[in-house]
Chain A
Amino acid sequence: MTERRAARIGVVCALVVILAQLVVASAWSLGHDDPTELALTRQCLEREKGLAVGPADDSVAASASGGALATVVEGNAVTLSVGRSEAEVERLRSAYSASDPGTRLDLHGRYVALWHREPSPTQRQVTYDCAY
Protein backbone atom coordinates (compact mmCIF):
# COMPACT_ATOMS: atom_id res chain seq x y z
CA MET A 1 0.00 0.00 0.00
CA THR A 2 1.36 3.41 -0.93
CA GLU A 3 1.35 6.29 1.54
CA ARG A 4 -0.89 8.31 -0.75
CA ARG A 5 -3.46 5.53 -0.91
CA ALA A 6 -3.39 5.09 2.87
CA ALA A 7 -3.83 8.84 3.34
CA ARG A 8 -6.80 8.90 0.93
CA ILE A 9 -8.50 6.02 2.73
CA GLY A 10 -7.82 7.79 6.01
CA VAL A 11 -9.45 11.00 4.76
CA VAL A 12 -12.50 9.07 3.53
CA CYS A 13 -12.84 7.29 6.89
CA ALA A 14 -12.50 10.56 8.81
CA LEU A 15 -15.10 12.25 6.62
CA VAL A 16 -17.49 9.31 7.06
CA VAL A 17 -17.15 9.54 10.85
CA ILE A 18 -17.74 13.29 10.85
CA LEU A 19 -20.60 12.98 8.38
CA ALA A 20 -22.25 10.37 10.60
CA GLN A 21 -21.93 12.75 13.56
CA LEU A 22 -23.48 15.58 11.55
CA VAL A 23 -26.32 13.36 10.30
CA VAL A 24 -27.17 12.40 13.89
CA ALA A 25 -27.04 16.03 14.97
CA SER A 26 -29.10 17.23 12.00
CA ALA A 27 -31.71 14.54 12.49
CA TRP A 28 -31.99 15.53 16.12
CA SER A 29 -32.26 19.21 15.21
CA LEU A 30 -35.09 18.53 12.75
CA GLY A 31 -37.02 16.51 15.29
CA HIS A 32 -36.52 18.79 18.26
CA ASP A 33 -36.79 22.47 19.05
CA ASP A 34 -33.92 23.65 21.17
CA PRO A 35 -35.34 24.27 24.63
CA THR A 36 -35.42 27.85 25.89
CA GLU A 37 -32.88 29.05 28.45
CA LEU A 38 -35.60 28.92 31.06
CA ALA A 39 -36.50 25.32 30.16
CA LEU A 40 -32.83 24.32 30.37
CA THR A 41 -32.49 26.05 33.72
CA ARG A 42 -35.63 24.34 35.03
CA GLN A 43 -34.33 20.98 33.80
CA CYS A 44 -30.93 21.60 35.40
CA LEU A 45 -32.39 22.65 38.74
CA GLU A 46 -34.75 19.69 38.83
CA ARG A 47 -32.57 16.91 37.44
CA GLU A 48 -29.06 17.92 38.43
CA LYS A 49 -29.72 19.82 41.65
CA GLY A 50 -32.76 17.85 42.78
CA LEU A 51 -34.85 20.98 43.49
CA ALA A 52 -38.60 21.53 43.24
CA VAL A 53 -39.32 24.27 40.71
CA GLY A 54 -42.57 26.22 40.45
CA PRO A 55 -43.93 29.34 38.76
CA ALA A 56 -42.77 32.79 39.84
CA ASP A 57 -45.44 34.84 41.50
CA ASP A 58 -44.16 38.41 41.46
CA SER A 59 -45.14 40.98 38.87
CA VAL A 60 -41.57 41.94 37.91
CA ALA A 61 -40.63 38.34 37.17
CA ALA A 62 -43.87 37.85 35.27
CA SER A 63 -42.84 40.67 32.91
CA ALA A 64 -39.52 39.00 31.93
CA SER A 65 -39.71 38.08 28.25
CA GLY A 66 -37.48 35.02 28.79
CA GLY A 67 -39.79 33.74 31.52
CA ALA A 68 -39.32 33.19 35.24
CA LEU A 69 -39.41 30.44 37.83
CA ALA A 70 -39.18 30.06 41.58
CA THR A 71 -37.39 27.49 43.70
CA VAL A 72 -35.78 27.01 47.09
CA VAL A 73 -32.02 26.48 47.34
CA GLU A 74 -30.72 25.23 50.68
CA GLY A 75 -33.70 26.74 52.46
CA ASN A 76 -33.50 30.09 50.71
CA ALA A 77 -36.29 30.93 48.26
CA VAL A 78 -35.31 32.52 44.97
CA THR A 79 -37.14 33.88 41.93
CA LEU A 80 -35.18 33.67 38.70
CA SER A 81 -36.12 35.86 35.73
CA VAL A 82 -34.55 35.62 32.29
CA GLY A 83 -34.05 38.73 30.19
CA ARG A 84 -33.59 38.66 26.42
CA SER A 85 -31.23 41.62 26.24
CA GLU A 86 -28.94 43.72 28.38
CA ALA A 87 -31.54 46.49 28.37
CA GLU A 88 -34.20 44.15 29.67
CA VAL A 89 -31.90 42.84 32.40
CA GLU A 90 -31.37 46.45 33.44
CA ARG A 91 -35.13 47.06 33.39
CA LEU A 92 -35.72 44.06 35.65
CA ARG A 93 -32.96 45.20 37.98
CA SER A 94 -34.42 48.70 38.20
CA ALA A 95 -37.91 47.36 38.86
CA TYR A 96 -36.66 45.20 41.71
CA SER A 97 -34.45 47.99 43.07
CA ALA A 98 -37.53 50.05 43.87
CA SER A 99 -38.09 47.79 46.89
CA ASP A 100 -34.42 48.16 47.95
CA PRO A 101 -33.47 44.46 47.94
CA GLY A 102 -29.76 45.15 48.53
CA THR A 103 -27.64 42.01 48.30
CA ARG A 104 -30.72 39.83 47.88
CA LEU A 105 -30.74 40.90 44.22
CA ASP A 106 -28.16 39.12 42.09
CA LEU A 107 -27.47 39.54 38.37
CA HIS A 108 -25.69 36.92 36.33
CA GLY A 109 -25.67 37.26 32.56
CA ARG A 110 -29.29 37.31 31.39
CA TYR A 111 -30.51 36.03 34.75
CA VAL A 112 -31.93 38.21 37.50
CA ALA A 113 -32.29 36.47 40.85
CA LEU A 114 -34.24 37.85 43.78
CA TRP A 115 -33.48 35.90 46.94
CA HIS A 116 -35.59 35.79 50.09
CA ARG A 117 -32.43 36.32 52.19
CA GLU A 118 -28.92 37.25 51.15
CA PRO A 119 -27.64 34.11 49.39
CA SER A 120 -24.61 32.20 50.59
CA PRO A 121 -21.87 31.50 47.99
CA THR A 122 -23.05 27.90 47.63
CA GLN A 123 -26.67 28.94 47.15
CA ARG A 124 -25.64 31.47 44.52
CA GLN A 125 -23.43 28.87 42.84
CA VAL A 126 -26.40 26.54 42.35
CA THR A 127 -28.18 29.15 40.23
CA TYR A 128 -24.97 29.98 38.33
CA ASP A 129 -24.45 26.29 37.54
CA CYS A 130 -27.87 26.21 35.92
CA ALA A 131 -27.59 29.51 34.02
CA TYR A 132 -27.53 28.98 30.24
Chain B
Amino acid sequence: MSRRYWGAAAAVLVAEAALLAWNAWHYDWLRGYDAFANERYADVVSREYRLPSEAESGVWHTPPLWFALAGALGRLTTALGLGHAQRPGQLLAAAAGLVTCVLVLLLARVLWPERPVLHLVALVLVAASPALVRASAMYHPETLAVALATGGVLVAARALRTRWTIGSAAAAGALLGLACLTRAWAVPVLVAVLVVAGLHAWDTRRWMPVATCAAVALALFAPWLVNQQLAHGSALAFNRPPPSGSLLERRPASFYLGPRSLRALEHPITPLFRNELVPHLYADWWGDWALTWDSPPPPAPAALLPSGVVSVRARQAVVGVVPSVLALAGLVALGLLAVARRSLSFALLPLSAAGVAAAYVAFAVRYPSPDGDTIKATYLLMALPAAAVAAAFVIDALRPRGRVWATAGVVALGALVAVQLPFLIL
Protein backbone atom coordinates (compact mmCIF):
# COMPACT_ATOMS: atom_id res chain seq x y z
CA MET B 1 0.00 0.00 0.00
CA SER B 2 1.19 3.49 -0.82
CA ARG B 3 2.37 6.15 1.57
CA ARG B 4 -0.73 8.17 0.62
CA TYR B 5 -2.96 5.28 1.75
CA TRP B 6 -1.31 5.00 5.14
CA GLY B 7 -1.30 8.78 5.49
CA ALA B 8 -5.03 8.98 4.82
CA ALA B 9 -5.80 6.14 7.26
CA ALA B 10 -3.62 7.72 9.95
CA ALA B 11 -5.22 11.13 9.42
CA VAL B 12 -8.73 9.71 9.82
CA LEU B 13 -7.74 7.80 12.95
CA VAL B 14 -5.97 10.76 14.54
CA ALA B 15 -8.98 12.99 13.83
CA GLU B 16 -11.31 10.33 15.24
CA ALA B 17 -9.18 9.96 18.37
CA ALA B 18 -9.30 13.72 18.92
CA LEU B 19 -13.06 13.82 18.32
CA LEU B 20 -13.87 10.94 20.67
CA ALA B 21 -11.55 12.17 23.43
CA TRP B 22 -12.94 15.71 23.18
CA ASN B 23 -16.52 14.48 23.34
CA ALA B 24 -15.84 12.10 26.24
CA TRP B 25 -14.25 14.97 28.12
CA HIS B 26 -17.09 17.39 27.47
CA TYR B 27 -20.14 15.13 27.61
CA ASP B 28 -22.09 15.25 30.86
CA TRP B 29 -21.86 11.61 31.93
CA LEU B 30 -25.26 11.75 33.64
CA ARG B 31 -26.96 12.35 30.28
CA GLY B 32 -25.85 8.98 28.89
CA TYR B 33 -28.15 5.98 28.90
CA ASP B 34 -28.64 4.43 32.36
CA ALA B 35 -25.82 6.62 33.67
CA PHE B 36 -26.66 6.53 37.36
CA ALA B 37 -27.42 2.79 37.31
CA ASN B 38 -24.13 2.21 35.47
CA GLU B 39 -22.27 4.18 38.13
CA ARG B 40 -23.89 2.17 40.92
CA TYR B 41 -22.98 -1.10 39.19
CA ALA B 42 -19.35 -0.01 38.64
CA ASP B 43 -19.11 1.12 42.23
CA VAL B 44 -20.45 -2.14 43.69
CA VAL B 45 -18.42 -4.43 41.45
CA SER B 46 -15.14 -2.54 41.87
CA ARG B 47 -15.40 -1.83 45.62
CA GLU B 48 -17.13 -4.93 46.92
CA TYR B 49 -16.11 -7.44 44.23
CA ARG B 50 -19.66 -8.71 43.76
CA LEU B 51 -22.56 -8.20 41.39
CA PRO B 52 -25.21 -5.63 42.33
CA SER B 53 -28.65 -6.72 43.42
CA GLU B 54 -31.80 -5.70 41.56
CA ALA B 55 -32.36 -2.97 44.14
CA GLU B 56 -28.85 -1.56 43.81
CA SER B 57 -28.65 -0.99 40.07
CA GLY B 58 -31.25 -0.93 37.31
CA VAL B 59 -28.75 -2.52 34.91
CA TRP B 60 -28.03 -5.59 37.03
CA HIS B 61 -28.93 -7.66 33.96
CA THR B 62 -25.86 -6.40 32.06
CA PRO B 63 -22.69 -8.53 32.19
CA PRO B 64 -19.95 -7.07 34.41
CA LEU B 65 -16.74 -6.68 32.38
CA TRP B 66 -16.97 -3.00 31.47
CA PHE B 67 -18.29 -2.04 34.90
CA ALA B 68 -15.35 -3.77 36.57
CA LEU B 69 -12.87 -1.93 34.32
CA ALA B 70 -14.59 1.45 34.53
CA GLY B 71 -15.04 1.15 38.29
CA ALA B 72 -11.41 0.16 38.86
CA LEU B 73 -10.13 2.96 36.63
CA GLY B 74 -12.42 5.44 38.36
CA ARG B 75 -11.17 4.42 41.79
CA LEU B 76 -7.59 4.68 40.61
CA THR B 77 -7.90 8.16 39.14
CA THR B 78 -9.92 9.37 42.13
CA ALA B 79 -7.23 8.08 44.48
CA LEU B 80 -4.62 9.92 42.43
CA GLY B 81 -6.71 13.08 42.47
CA LEU B 82 -7.03 13.13 38.67
CA GLY B 83 -10.67 14.08 38.33
CA HIS B 84 -14.12 12.66 38.77
CA ALA B 85 -14.74 8.94 38.92
CA GLN B 86 -16.74 8.62 35.72
CA ARG B 87 -14.30 10.24 33.30
CA PRO B 88 -12.11 7.13 32.93
CA GLY B 89 -15.19 5.09 32.03
CA GLN B 90 -16.08 7.62 29.34
CA LEU B 91 -12.52 7.61 28.02
CA LEU B 92 -12.57 3.80 28.04
CA ALA B 93 -15.72 3.95 25.88
CA ALA B 94 -13.98 6.45 23.58
CA ALA B 95 -10.88 4.25 23.29
CA ALA B 96 -13.09 1.28 22.43
CA GLY B 97 -14.82 3.38 19.76
CA LEU B 98 -11.44 4.22 18.23
CA VAL B 99 -10.32 0.57 18.36
CA THR B 100 -13.54 -0.36 16.55
CA CYS B 101 -12.55 2.00 13.71
CA VAL B 102 -9.09 0.40 13.48
CA LEU B 103 -10.61 -3.09 13.46
CA VAL B 104 -13.05 -2.18 10.67
CA LEU B 105 -10.11 -0.99 8.56
CA LEU B 106 -8.29 -4.26 9.24
CA LEU B 107 -11.42 -6.31 8.53
CA ALA B 108 -11.82 -4.68 5.12
CA ARG B 109 -8.12 -5.35 4.44
CA VAL B 110 -8.49 -9.02 5.33
CA LEU B 111 -11.53 -9.51 3.09
CA TRP B 112 -10.25 -7.47 0.12
CA PRO B 113 -6.47 -7.07 0.51
CA GLU B 114 -5.95 -5.25 -2.81
CA ARG B 115 -8.77 -2.69 -2.50
CA PRO B 116 -7.40 0.39 -0.70
CA VAL B 117 -10.37 2.58 -1.61
CA LEU B 118 -12.72 0.09 0.00
CA HIS B 119 -10.62 0.03 3.18
CA LEU B 120 -10.58 3.80 3.53
CA VAL B 121 -14.27 4.24 2.72
CA ALA B 122 -15.16 1.64 5.38
CA LEU B 123 -12.95 3.47 7.86
CA VAL B 124 -14.55 6.85 7.15
CA LEU B 125 -18.08 5.45 7.31
CA VAL B 126 -17.57 3.83 10.68
CA ALA B 127 -15.66 6.81 12.09
CA ALA B 128 -18.42 9.23 11.05
CA SER B 129 -21.25 7.09 12.36
CA PRO B 130 -23.26 9.26 14.80
CA ALA B 131 -24.35 6.21 16.80
CA LEU B 132 -20.73 5.23 17.43
CA VAL B 133 -19.61 8.77 18.22
CA ARG B 134 -22.44 9.28 20.70
CA ALA B 135 -21.94 5.93 22.42
CA SER B 136 -18.19 6.62 22.67
CA ALA B 137 -18.84 9.65 24.89
CA MET B 138 -21.20 7.94 27.30
CA TYR B 139 -20.45 6.20 30.58
CA HIS B 140 -21.68 3.00 29.01
CA PRO B 141 -20.34 -0.45 28.02
CA GLU B 142 -21.65 -0.60 24.43
CA THR B 143 -18.52 0.40 22.51
CA LEU B 144 -16.25 -1.96 24.43
CA ALA B 145 -18.52 -4.87 23.51
CA VAL B 146 -18.50 -3.78 19.86
CA ALA B 147 -14.70 -3.51 19.79
CA LEU B 148 -14.23 -6.95 21.35
CA ALA B 149 -16.78 -8.60 19.05
CA THR B 150 -15.28 -6.92 15.97
CA GLY B 151 -11.89 -8.23 17.06
CA GLY B 152 -13.36 -11.73 17.22
CA VAL B 153 -14.90 -11.37 13.75
CA LEU B 154 -11.58 -10.08 12.39
CA VAL B 155 -9.66 -13.06 13.76
CA ALA B 156 -12.30 -15.44 12.38
CA ALA B 157 -12.31 -13.78 8.94
CA ARG B 158 -8.53 -13.94 8.79
CA ALA B 159 -8.55 -17.60 9.80
CA LEU B 160 -11.12 -18.38 7.11
CA ARG B 161 -8.91 -16.65 4.53
CA THR B 162 -5.74 -18.42 5.67
CA ARG B 163 -6.09 -21.35 8.05
CA TRP B 164 -8.07 -22.01 11.21
CA THR B 165 -5.53 -22.94 13.83
CA ILE B 166 -6.18 -23.79 17.46
CA GLY B 167 -4.55 -20.49 18.35
CA SER B 168 -6.72 -18.35 16.06
CA ALA B 169 -9.84 -20.25 17.18
CA ALA B 170 -8.95 -19.65 20.83
CA ALA B 171 -8.30 -15.96 20.15
CA ALA B 172 -11.62 -15.53 18.34
CA GLY B 173 -13.42 -17.39 21.12
CA ALA B 174 -11.73 -15.31 23.81
CA LEU B 175 -12.58 -11.98 22.14
CA LEU B 176 -16.18 -12.98 21.49
CA GLY B 177 -16.55 -14.45 24.98
CA LEU B 178 -15.30 -11.21 26.50
CA ALA B 179 -17.65 -9.26 24.23
CA CYS B 180 -20.56 -11.35 25.54
CA LEU B 181 -19.28 -10.72 29.06
CA THR B 182 -19.62 -6.99 28.29
CA ARG B 183 -22.98 -6.85 26.50
CA ALA B 184 -25.36 -9.64 25.56
CA TRP B 185 -25.76 -8.04 22.11
CA ALA B 186 -22.51 -9.82 21.21
CA VAL B 187 -24.19 -13.24 21.52
CA PRO B 188 -25.65 -13.16 17.95
CA VAL B 189 -22.16 -12.32 16.63
CA LEU B 190 -20.69 -15.26 18.54
CA VAL B 191 -23.40 -17.52 17.12
CA ALA B 192 -22.71 -16.26 13.57
CA VAL B 193 -18.98 -16.96 13.95
CA LEU B 194 -19.67 -20.43 15.33
CA VAL B 195 -22.09 -21.22 12.48
CA VAL B 196 -19.53 -20.14 9.88
CA ALA B 197 -16.72 -21.97 11.69
CA GLY B 198 -18.95 -25.05 11.88
CA LEU B 199 -19.64 -24.94 8.13
CA HIS B 200 -15.92 -24.57 7.52
CA ALA B 201 -15.25 -27.57 9.77
CA TRP B 202 -17.86 -29.55 7.84
CA ASP B 203 -16.04 -28.80 4.58
CA THR B 204 -12.54 -29.49 5.90
CA ARG B 205 -13.39 -32.26 8.37
CA ARG B 206 -11.35 -30.40 11.02
CA TRP B 207 -13.58 -29.90 14.03
CA MET B 208 -11.01 -28.94 16.63
CA PRO B 209 -10.92 -25.16 15.78
CA VAL B 210 -14.66 -24.62 16.04
CA ALA B 211 -14.80 -26.70 19.22
CA THR B 212 -11.96 -24.63 20.68
CA CYS B 213 -13.62 -21.35 19.72
CA ALA B 214 -16.92 -22.41 21.31
CA ALA B 215 -15.23 -23.83 24.42
CA VAL B 216 -13.16 -20.70 25.10
CA ALA B 217 -16.13 -18.38 24.55
CA LEU B 218 -18.37 -20.47 26.77
CA ALA B 219 -15.72 -20.78 29.46
CA LEU B 220 -15.74 -16.98 29.71
CA PHE B 221 -19.46 -16.36 29.30
CA ALA B 222 -21.12 -19.42 30.85
CA PRO B 223 -20.48 -18.44 34.51
CA TRP B 224 -22.45 -15.26 33.92
CA LEU B 225 -25.33 -17.15 32.32
CA VAL B 226 -25.39 -19.67 35.16
CA ASN B 227 -25.40 -16.86 37.73
CA GLN B 228 -28.31 -15.14 35.99
CA GLN B 229 -30.26 -18.38 35.78
CA LEU B 230 -29.74 -19.13 39.47
CA ALA B 231 -30.12 -15.58 40.81
CA HIS B 232 -32.85 -14.24 38.53
CA GLY B 233 -34.55 -17.27 37.00
CA SER B 234 -33.39 -16.69 33.43
CA ALA B 235 -29.97 -16.75 31.77
CA LEU B 236 -31.04 -13.75 29.67
CA ALA B 237 -32.96 -11.91 32.39
CA PHE B 238 -33.87 -8.25 31.83
CA ASN B 239 -34.63 -5.58 34.40
CA ARG B 240 -38.39 -5.97 33.98
CA PRO B 241 -40.55 -9.02 33.36
CA PRO B 242 -42.06 -9.37 29.88
CA PRO B 243 -45.80 -8.78 29.75
CA SER B 244 -47.96 -11.85 29.63
CA GLY B 245 -49.69 -12.89 26.43
CA SER B 246 -48.65 -13.73 22.92
CA LEU B 247 -45.56 -12.12 21.42
CA LEU B 248 -47.62 -11.19 18.37
CA GLU B 249 -49.95 -9.04 20.46
CA ARG B 250 -47.34 -7.09 22.39
CA ARG B 251 -46.79 -4.43 19.77
CA PRO B 252 -49.42 -2.63 17.68
CA ALA B 253 -49.27 -2.65 13.87
CA SER B 254 -47.69 0.83 13.93
CA PHE B 255 -44.58 -0.68 15.55
CA TYR B 256 -43.94 -2.82 12.47
CA LEU B 257 -45.28 -0.49 9.76
CA GLY B 258 -43.85 2.84 10.91
CA PRO B 259 -46.70 5.00 9.57
CA ARG B 260 -44.92 8.25 10.42
CA SER B 261 -41.69 7.30 8.67
CA LEU B 262 -41.83 10.32 6.37
CA ARG B 263 -41.57 12.65 9.33
CA ALA B 264 -38.26 11.07 10.34
CA LEU B 265 -36.58 13.37 7.80
CA GLU B 266 -38.27 16.50 9.05
CA HIS B 267 -38.81 16.26 12.83
CA PRO B 268 -36.71 13.32 14.07
CA ILE B 269 -37.00 13.83 17.81
CA THR B 270 -39.02 12.57 20.74
CA PRO B 271 -41.89 11.92 21.12
CA LEU B 272 -42.82 11.76 17.44
CA PHE B 273 -43.09 8.18 16.06
CA ARG B 274 -42.24 6.83 19.48
CA ASN B 275 -42.33 3.02 19.36
CA GLU B 276 -42.56 2.92 15.55
CA LEU B 277 -39.55 0.69 14.98
CA VAL B 278 -38.10 1.91 11.67
CA PRO B 279 -38.44 5.71 12.01
CA HIS B 280 -37.64 5.64 15.74
CA LEU B 281 -34.50 3.58 15.18
CA TYR B 282 -33.44 5.52 12.07
CA ALA B 283 -33.84 8.90 13.79
CA ASP B 284 -31.84 7.72 16.78
CA TRP B 285 -29.10 6.12 14.67
CA TRP B 286 -28.39 9.20 12.56
CA GLY B 287 -29.34 11.79 15.14
CA ASP B 288 -30.50 11.86 18.72
CA TRP B 289 -34.17 10.97 18.97
CA ALA B 290 -34.30 11.04 22.78
CA LEU B 291 -32.40 14.36 23.06
CA THR B 292 -29.54 13.07 25.17
CA TRP B 293 -26.77 14.62 23.06
CA ASP B 294 -25.98 18.29 22.44
CA SER B 295 -29.30 19.86 23.41
CA PRO B 296 -30.78 21.64 26.41
CA PRO B 297 -31.34 18.94 29.03
CA PRO B 298 -35.04 18.14 29.22
CA PRO B 299 -37.07 19.58 30.73
CA ALA B 300 -36.34 22.95 29.17
CA PRO B 301 -37.75 25.25 31.83
CA ALA B 302 -39.93 28.01 30.48
CA ALA B 303 -38.53 27.68 26.99
CA LEU B 304 -39.46 26.06 23.73
CA LEU B 305 -37.02 23.60 22.24
CA PRO B 306 -34.68 25.76 20.13
CA SER B 307 -35.44 25.31 16.45
CA GLY B 308 -31.76 24.59 15.80
CA VAL B 309 -31.99 21.43 17.90
CA VAL B 310 -34.60 20.03 15.52
CA SER B 311 -33.02 21.28 12.30
CA VAL B 312 -29.57 19.83 13.00
CA ARG B 313 -31.14 16.44 13.68
CA ALA B 314 -33.32 16.71 10.57
CA ARG B 315 -30.15 17.37 8.56
CA GLN B 316 -28.56 14.29 10.08
CA ALA B 317 -31.60 12.24 9.08
CA VAL B 318 -31.35 13.43 5.46
CA VAL B 319 -27.58 12.79 5.37
CA GLY B 320 -28.15 9.24 6.56
CA VAL B 321 -30.38 8.13 3.68
CA VAL B 322 -27.65 7.24 1.15
CA PRO B 323 -25.28 5.46 3.59
CA SER B 324 -28.23 3.49 4.98
CA VAL B 325 -29.26 2.33 1.50
CA LEU B 326 -25.64 1.39 0.72
CA ALA B 327 -25.24 -0.55 3.96
CA LEU B 328 -28.41 -2.53 3.38
CA ALA B 329 -27.43 -3.11 -0.25
CA GLY B 330 -23.97 -4.24 0.79
CA LEU B 331 -25.23 -6.77 3.30
CA VAL B 332 -27.58 -8.25 0.67
CA ALA B 333 -24.75 -8.26 -1.91
CA LEU B 334 -22.29 -9.98 0.43
CA GLY B 335 -24.94 -12.57 1.27
CA LEU B 336 -25.46 -13.27 -2.43
CA LEU B 337 -21.72 -13.47 -3.08
CA ALA B 338 -21.23 -15.78 -0.12
CA VAL B 339 -23.82 -18.18 -1.52
CA ALA B 340 -22.71 -17.91 -5.15
CA ARG B 341 -19.01 -18.37 -4.37
CA ARG B 342 -19.48 -20.57 -1.31
CA SER B 343 -17.33 -18.02 0.55
CA LEU B 344 -17.67 -18.34 4.31
CA SER B 345 -15.63 -15.22 5.02
CA PHE B 346 -18.10 -13.14 2.98
CA ALA B 347 -20.97 -14.83 4.86
CA LEU B 348 -19.61 -13.71 8.22
CA LEU B 349 -20.70 -10.07 7.91
CA PRO B 350 -24.30 -10.44 6.65
CA LEU B 351 -24.87 -13.35 9.00
CA SER B 352 -23.67 -11.46 12.08
CA ALA B 353 -25.60 -8.31 11.09
CA ALA B 354 -28.77 -10.31 10.46
CA GLY B 355 -28.35 -12.08 13.80
CA VAL B 356 -27.94 -8.81 15.69
CA ALA B 357 -30.93 -7.26 13.87
CA ALA B 358 -33.12 -10.29 14.60
CA ALA B 359 -32.13 -10.25 18.28
CA TYR B 360 -32.81 -6.52 18.41
CA VAL B 361 -36.34 -6.86 16.96
CA ALA B 362 -37.09 -9.84 19.20
CA PHE B 363 -35.98 -7.86 22.25
CA ALA B 364 -38.04 -4.79 21.29
CA VAL B 365 -41.12 -6.97 20.75
CA ARG B 366 -40.59 -9.00 23.93
CA TYR B 367 -40.20 -5.90 26.09
CA PRO B 368 -42.56 -3.16 24.87
CA SER B 369 -42.02 0.13 26.69
CA PRO B 370 -44.46 3.06 26.70
CA ASP B 371 -41.62 5.59 26.57
CA GLY B 372 -39.75 3.81 23.76
CA ASP B 373 -36.88 2.95 26.09
CA THR B 374 -36.22 -0.43 24.47
CA ILE B 375 -35.65 1.07 21.02
CA LYS B 376 -32.19 2.63 20.97
CA ALA B 377 -29.67 2.93 18.15
CA THR B 378 -26.82 1.96 20.45
CA TYR B 379 -28.41 -1.48 20.95
CA LEU B 380 -27.77 -2.10 17.24
CA LEU B 381 -24.19 -0.80 17.31
CA MET B 382 -22.93 -4.37 17.15
CA ALA B 383 -24.03 -4.43 13.49
CA LEU B 384 -22.11 -1.24 12.60
CA PRO B 385 -18.80 -2.84 11.55
CA ALA B 386 -20.58 -5.20 9.14
CA ALA B 387 -22.75 -2.35 7.83
CA ALA B 388 -19.78 -0.02 7.25
CA VAL B 389 -17.72 -2.64 5.42
CA ALA B 390 -20.77 -3.68 3.37
CA ALA B 391 -21.52 -0.09 2.33
CA ALA B 392 -17.88 0.43 1.37
CA PHE B 393 -18.01 -2.75 -0.70
CA VAL B 394 -20.97 -1.46 -2.73
CA ILE B 395 -19.31 1.90 -3.29
CA ASP B 396 -16.10 0.28 -4.44
CA ALA B 397 -17.85 -2.30 -6.62
CA LEU B 398 -20.06 0.23 -8.41
CA ARG B 399 -17.82 3.29 -8.61
CA PRO B 400 -16.74 4.29 -12.12
CA ARG B 401 -12.97 4.19 -12.54
CA GLY B 402 -10.96 7.28 -13.49
CA ARG B 403 -9.36 10.27 -11.84
CA VAL B 404 -12.43 12.52 -12.13
CA TRP B 405 -14.69 10.00 -10.47
CA ALA B 406 -12.09 9.33 -7.79
CA THR B 407 -11.98 13.04 -7.00
CA ALA B 408 -15.79 13.20 -6.96
CA GLY B 409 -15.88 10.25 -4.54
CA VAL B 410 -13.42 11.90 -2.18
CA VAL B 411 -15.42 15.13 -2.28
CA ALA B 412 -18.68 13.27 -1.60
CA LEU B 413 -17.18 11.40 1.32
CA GLY B 414 -15.64 14.60 2.68
CA ALA B 415 -19.00 16.33 2.38
CA LEU B 416 -20.68 13.47 4.26
CA VAL B 417 -18.27 14.02 7.14
CA ALA B 418 -18.19 17.83 7.00
CA VAL B 419 -21.97 18.17 7.06
CA GLN B 420 -22.11 16.02 10.19
CA LEU B 421 -19.32 17.74 12.13
CA PRO B 422 -21.52 20.35 13.83
CA PHE B 423 -23.56 17.49 15.27
CA LEU B 424 -20.68 15.16 16.06
CA ILE B 425 -18.46 17.67 17.87
CA LEU B 426 -19.72 18.72 21.28
Contacts and interface: CB of A to CB of B under 8 A. Distances in A.
Contact of B259 (A9, A11, A13, A32): A32
A40 B260 CA distance: 14
Nearest to A18: B325
Interface in B357-398: 370-371, 393-394, 397-398
A6 interface: yes
Interface in A14-42: 14-15, 17-18, 21-22, 24-26, 28-29, 32, 34, 40
Contacts of B230: none
A128 B299 CA distance: 7
B9 interface: no
Nearest to A2: B397
B302 A7 contact: no
B271 interface: yes
A18 B332 CA distance: 14
A14 B336 contact: no
B301 A107 contact: yes
A6 B333 CA distance: 5
Given A21-B278, A26-B262, A109-B300, A10 B340 contact: no
Given A7-B329, A10-B331, A132 B272 contact: yes
Contact of B336 (A6, A34, A130): A6
Contacts of B325: 11, 14-15, 18
Main secondary structure of the interface of B (DSSP, over half): helix
B259 A6 contact: no
Contacts of B394: 7, 10-11
B14 interface: no
A107 B298 CA distance: 12
B208 to A, nearest CB: 33
A28 B259 contact: yes
Interface in A81-132: 86, 89, 93, 107-110, 124, 128-132
B328 interface: yes
Chain B interface size range: 35 or more
Contacts of B328: 10, 13-14, 17-18
B55 interface: no
B397 A24 contact: no
B305 interface: yes
Interface in B228-287: 257-262, 271-272, 278-279
B87 to A, nearest CB: 27
B251 to A, nearest CB: 14
A130 B334 CA distance: 43
A113 B298 CA distance: 16
B271 A132 contact: yes
Given A18-B324, A25-B262, A107-B303, 10 more contacts: A6-B340, A7-B329, A7-B397, A21-B278, A24-B259, A25-B260, A28-B260, A40-B271, A86-B303, A93-B302
10 contacts: A1-B341, A6-B333, A7-B394, A11-B325, A11-B326, A13-B329, A25-B258, A25-B262, A48-B371, A86-B303
